[in-house]
């Protein structure tokens, strides 16, 4: 029997990856210049940090809201593109306006913070619907990790280049930096719009009834968001605490080196996941991260033998990044996928923000204990999802007999 050809919509995947790169570029510019812009209006650095915190809390609410709206739009219009287009246009226009507004001294000094919050809200409008488009970029769910590996590679590369990008943006000035971010987003979004097929479903007055709300799936998604965010962050913090001072080649830090390693392994790991799709690789990856954290908790500083552990960490982390979205799609039905991803992003952002506040960096034992518990929970959730998928596949094969 001939091997089945992959039919991944690579152009769509590449366009979504380009939008992810543009989003990252805009956030780098925003965080690099926000303090300066607000400082020109008389706001302190503490206020800038508080504003960023407020934006995270708003994202916790608005990511699921816009995800649900995109689900509803898909049912009514047969497309999520209108919400994506509106969000992109608003985000690009407001982003360019921020440095322009920053040079003025208006009587109402709260205008600039309000505009900054408006931009952050506009950014939440389209990220979730764009990621849902990955669901239909492959003919089968089994190929999703390979498609998403391109996104994982882009995220890793942007993580490596972040210091250089930030320095470059600071060198050119606020307006050129913000303009570059807006133009990049518009071009990437235009390419995606040209690639997407036109909706064939006619406009209808009443959308078809969706499946019942998957409350258990939402609970599993929330638990996974917290467990993944805290567990992976604590592993990375422990690693950097032990080996962060070791110099690498090309002037890279240990953190950048790990990001580069994950980026290089993303696509090979995607192929491996596709080839071994019957095995619970996501659960195995979380299990490896749990073991790695236990080893790091007792590791002597600057032990060269931990190069092997770094390779295992990179494989496990690439597998987790490639498998997170497929996990959500497998846990939550497709007609609620936007809401599910919105919940995941919102909770992840909140969990990342509260981690350093609730668990001090110097509380090594407490961090390690919480990290191990979180990674163990993530392992169990991934294995449950794999078992559910295996049962669904078996039922589908039986029904064809």
- CA dihedral sign, ordered 45, 48, 54, 57: negative
CB of 225 closer than 8 Å to CB of 328 = no
Q: What total of structural domains would you count in the chain?
A: 2
Question: Nearest Cα to 96, choosing from 163, 41, 193, 177?
Answer: 177
- Out of 167, 200, 233, pick the residue that ends a domain: 200
Q: Does residue 134 lie in a domain region?
A: yes
Specify whether 20 is located in the same domain as 81. yes
- pLDDT at position 143 is 86
- Quick check: is 380 in a domain? yes
Global pTM? 0.88
Check: CB of residue 301 under 8 Å from CB of residue 92: no
The contacts of residue 76 (CB under 8 Å, 6+ apart) are 203, 204, 207
For 84-98, write each residue's pLDDT tens digit.
Answer: 999 999 999 999 999
User: Span 258-282, mean pLDDT?
Assistant: 88
* Residue 3 maps to a domain: no
| 176 and 296 share one domain | no
CA 285 to chain centroid: 18
248 and 293 together in one domain = yes
Is the pLDDT assigned to residue 6 strictly greater than 70? no
In a domain, 36, yes or no: yes
pLDDT digits (tens, 9 = 90+) for 342-361: 999 999 999 998 888 888 77
184, 202, 232 from 292: Cα distances, Å = 38, 53, 11
What is the model's pLDDT at position 2? 36
Check whether residue 27 and residue 168 sit in a common domain.
Answer: yes
| DSSP conformational letter for 142 | G
What was the pLDDT predicted at 199? 64
Domain edge (last residue) among 155, 178, 200: 200
Q: Report yes or no: 21 and 184 within 8 Å, Cβ to Cβ.
A: yes
Q: Are residues 155 and 291 in the same domain?
A: no
Residue 4 lies in a domain: no
Q: Is residue 91, in this structure, part of any structural domain at all?
A: yes
Residue 195: which domain range? 10-200
| CA nearest neighbour of 96 among 133, 122, 71 | 122
The answer to whether position 206 is within a domain reads: no
CATH of the domain at 132: 1.20.1250.20
Question: What's the confidence (pLDDT) of residue 389?
Answer: 65
| Same-domain status, 323 and 242 | yes
**Which tokens sit at 122?**
């506009």
Residues written for the chain: 401
CA-CA distance, 213 to 215, in Å (whole number)?
Answer: 6
- 124 and 50 inside one domain: yes
Rounded CA separation 45/276 (Å): 50
**Two structure tokens written together for 55:** 């934006």
CA 370 to chain centre: 22
- Residue 243, Cβ density class (10 Å: 0-12 exposed, 13-18 middle, ≥19 buried): buried
Structure token pair of residue 377: 């929970």
């Amino acid at each position: 029997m001939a091997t089945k050809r992959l039919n991944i919509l690579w152009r769509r995947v590449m366009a979504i990856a380009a939008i992810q790169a543009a989003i990252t570029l805009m956030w780098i510019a925003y965080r690099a210049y926000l303090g300066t812009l607000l400082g020109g209006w008389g706001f302190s650095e503490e206020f800038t940090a508080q504003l960023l915190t407020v934006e995270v809390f708003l994202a916790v609410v608005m990511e699921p809201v816009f995800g649900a709206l995109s689900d509803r739009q898909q049912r009514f219009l047969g497309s999520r593109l209108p919400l994506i287009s509106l969000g992109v246009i608003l985000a690009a226009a407001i982003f360019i306006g921020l440095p322009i507004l920053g040079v003025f001294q208006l009587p109402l000094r709260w205008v600039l913070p309000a505009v900054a919050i408006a931009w952050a809200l506009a950014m939440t409008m389209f990220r979730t619907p764009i990621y849902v488009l990955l669901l239909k970029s492959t003919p089968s769910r089994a190929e999703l990790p390979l498609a998403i590996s391109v996104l994982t590679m882009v995220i890793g590369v942007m993580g490596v280049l972040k210091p250089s990008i930030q320095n470059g943006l600071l060198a050119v000035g606020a307006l050129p930096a913000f303009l570059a971010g807006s133009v990049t987003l518009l071009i990437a979004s235009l390419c995606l719009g040209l690639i997407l097929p036109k909706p064939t479903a006619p406009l209808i007055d009443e959308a078809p009834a969706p499946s019942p709300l998957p409350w258990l799936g939402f609970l599993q998604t929330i638990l996974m968001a917290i467990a993944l965010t805290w567990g992976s962050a604590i592993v990375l913090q422990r690693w950097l605490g032990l080996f962060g001072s070791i110099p690498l080649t090309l002037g890279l830090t240990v953190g950048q080196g790990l990001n580069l390693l994950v980026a290089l392994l993303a696509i090979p790991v995607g192929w491996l996941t596709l080839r071994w799709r019957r095995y619970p690789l996501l659960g195995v990856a979380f299990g490896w991260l749990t073991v790695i954290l236990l080893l790091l908790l007792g590791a002597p500083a600057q032990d060269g033998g931990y190069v092997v552990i770094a390779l295992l960490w990179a494989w496990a982390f690439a597998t987790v990044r490639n498998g997170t979205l497929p996990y959500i799609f497998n846990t939550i039905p497709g007609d609620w996928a936007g809401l599910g991803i919105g919940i995941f992003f919102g909770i992840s952002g909140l969990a990342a923000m509260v981690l350093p506040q609730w668990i001090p960096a110097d509380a090594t034992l407490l961090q390690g204990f919480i990290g191990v518990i979180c990674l163990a929970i993530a392992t169990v959730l991934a294995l449950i999802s794999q078992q559910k998928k295996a049962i669904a596949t078996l039922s589908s094969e039986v029904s064809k007999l």
